[in-house]
Structure 1
């Protein structure tokens, strides 16, 4: 039975983004999903009923174009999933300006640009979700060996806080930790699979509908310390 709910998922070609799209479809949502390179999104394109759009979210002109294509549409969920791990060597001694700039732009700045562009199309009882990480918590020392990535997620959390403070959205805003997941980014030693993570995240999204406020939680709904 159709749920009459619509989701816009930013960054859905593989891993958690693709898994989220699959869970939403199973729950009878209408899904619009963006990918950077349509040629590398065959798994997404094969899913029936998904509207696939191309977006490099660091590009203002591509954001303009997507805004025009989606003009007049409203969403129950906007989930900004896109992100990168950054350079393989994360020792600050060897950090390069271009690598760090791309990492922070992609992980912390551009997700907020997306939110600023599309928040007005989010329904009043909708959910605005960002793929954060427990590594973004200043209080938790885990992940110090990938300190640049960790810092970019802390920056995302800070940017989400600023967005909420400035815009005071009526909708629920989630900074979501998906768990340590077996993906290209999470690696084979991770604790849970994509199905477990994305099922949990969808449950939290549904539970948060109409709730309001800003919440830093994991896929089980547990609150995390900023």
Structure 2
């Protein structure tokens, strides 16, 4: 059954890749979408908005800039968000051992992948009603238990940090009726995932949205993959 047309999703980080696909998928499912881009250049998201008959609103925000996050919160102050989905991720060469990663690169990865998504959630979560859902895009690589192969060390650390911070957020909101999710979309063929990745965007994102939809109304935090399977912490 289609969801009511007035359902609204905010997708943070949607200019390309997984975020762009999320915006497109929610539009296909009759949601209204607010989606963010970092800069002022024209993107495929702008083309999607032009064809959306007014159902896609674009906001500009650099999530690493605290003032940008605060200003977005102010602009959306009267909005009702059924879904807040924070999609953010940068990576460096997966084969570089942690001892050879520069401090600058490590800080960039940790801030972009862990600190900034949580700042967005902290700033905007009050716009999500008790029936709503708050999602952060994680990764299978964020699982400490499943790390038996190594590689992607800085990226793994950042997603594990995101998972830990989201658990802390959920603990501070014990008894909250909202659904909190960490989603691992699988290894997807994007600019970051690379051409050798196992999944196409079309194989991942519709299932991600199915998984998020299936958990609506289920309180507490879950760490799930794109097929709805539990990922070990």
Q: 2:109, 2:158 within 8 Å by CA — same for their partners in 1?
A: yes
Say whether residues 1:111 and 2:110 are aligned partners. no
Which deviates more, 195-204 or 93-102? 93-102
SS in 2 for 1:114: helix
| Count of residues in correspondence between the two structures | 225
Aligned to 1:42: 43
Aligned to 2:31: 29
Q: 2:94, 2:151 within 8 Å by CA — same for their partners in 1?
A: no
Question: 1: CA distance between counterparts of 2:192 and 2:149?
Answer: 13
Quote how far apart the aligned CAs of 1:221 are. 0.4
Classify 1:42/1:154 alpha carbon distance in 2 versus 1 (closer, same or farther; 3 Å).
Answer: same
Aligned to 1:201: 208
Q: 1:87, 1:99 within 8 Å by CA — same for their partners in 2?
A: no
Quote how far apart the aligned CAs of 1:124 are. 0.9
Scaled by the length of structure 2, the TM-score of the pair is: 0.92
SS in 1 for 2:126: helix
Question: 1: CA distance between counterparts of 2:107 and 2:213?
Answer: 34
Aligned to 1:180: 187
Runs (4+) of structure 1 moved beyond 3 Å?
86-89
Quote how far apart the aligned CAs of 1:62 are. 0.6
Question: How do 1:1-226 and structure 2 match up within 5 A?
Answer: 3-39=5-41, 41-47=42-48, 48=52, 49-86=55-92, 90-141=96-147, 144-168=150-174, 169-226=176-233
Question: 1: CA distance between counterparts of 2:92 and 2:164?
Answer: 19
Cα deviations by residue, 1:30-79 (Å, 9 ceiling, x for unpaired):
0000111130x521011123111111111111111111111110111100
RMSD: 1.5
Scaled by the length of structure 1, the TM-score of the pair is: 0.95
Q: 2:95, 2:151 within 8 Å by CA — same for their partners in 1?
A: no
Quote how far apart the aligned CAs of 1:170 are. 2.3
Q: Which runs of 5+ in 2 are unaligned?
A: none
